[in-house]
Amino acid sequence: MTDATALPGQPRGGALSGPATARAVNVLAPNASPMTLDGTNTWIVSEPDSALAVVIDPGPLDDGHLRTVIATAEQLGKRVALTLLTHGHPDHAEGALRFAELTGTEVRALDPALRLGDEGLGHGDVVTVGGLELRVVPTPGHTADSLCFHLPADRAVLTGDTVLGRGTTVVAHPDGRLGDYLDSLRRLRSLTIDDGVHTVLPGHGPVLEDAQGAVEYYLAHRAHRLAQIETAVEQGHRSPDAVVAHVYAGVDRSLWPAAELSVRAQLEYLREHGLI
């Protein structure tokens, strides 16, 4: 058995659902799969002494899960006052409108098509509810509309799919772009260095206790994959499916379609930089 402290980001053991920090509680959605890991993490975030809470990523359109999120907030003595989205993928956002209907909340997101209400989210925005402060951090790359939320009081960042609790993230080409993703990882690294962020509250998988270590691992992983793909192309594997078969030969084939999205993004990046 591998020691968890040796894994990238130092993933926390134990149940995924439940309190993660002083202000964040996870409710795990019942949508586990090879792509969603244990399922989508729906985060309830609030000040300990406040009766108001923010929910981030209600998850899939599963009425049972949505009602469990509401019931969990109520058990904590909270009323859901606002819904936020890290991005628009269905496993994070499909249930948002139904959740808003159940809670009477607005839905704020970067993509106007996902919003319910007049307010969106963008660079430099600070969301405040019941004394809680969440700082919006644009992190495009996984998707064009990806956001993270910096929770300074807990020295934590809610990362959606930009950084996962286990494994690495797909750059969902063509909407996702590798250059943007690398810039976003560097932006998150700055949070760990300049703002003291040490905890990652991801969209899937366990909480990570070493945010800087996780981000450094992601950057190193991307550099390694780029080198592998550049070499594969030099060896004559030029189409995306051929590169996937060569570079991801040891990976479960059920994950190859997702891997091909990242490969397409990386091939585009290498071409743009004149490396292939």
Q: What is the CATH number for 141? A: 3.60.15.10
Give the whole-angstrom CA distance, residue 142 versus residue 159: 11
Per-residue pLDDT reduced to its tens digit, 83-118: 999 999 999 999 999 999 999 999 999 999 999 999
Return the structure tokens found at 68: 């469990």
Domains in the chain, number: 1
Residue 136 is assigned to a structural domain of this protein: yes
Q: What pLDDT is stored for residue 102 in this prediction?
A: 98
- Is residue 275 domain-resident? no
Domain membership of residue 147 (yes or no) is yes
Asked, for residue 1, whether it belongs to a domain, the answer is: no
Q: Give the pLDDT score at 5.
A: 43
pLDDT at 6: 57
Q: What pLDDT sits at residue 268?
A: 97
Residues 6+ positions from 155 with CB-CB distance below 8 Å? 195, 196, 197, 198, 199
Q: Is 234 exposed, middle or buried (0-12, 13-18, 19+ CB in 10 A)?
A: exposed
Q: Where are the alpha helices (DSSP H) in 42-140?
A: 63-75, 90-93, 96-103
Which regions in the chain score pLDDT beneath 70?
Answer: 1-6
For residue 11, being part of any structural domain is answered with no
Task: Let me know: does 157 contact 21? Beta carbons within 8 Å.
Answer: no
Pair 109, 93: CB distance under 8 Å: yes
- pLDDT for position 7: 80
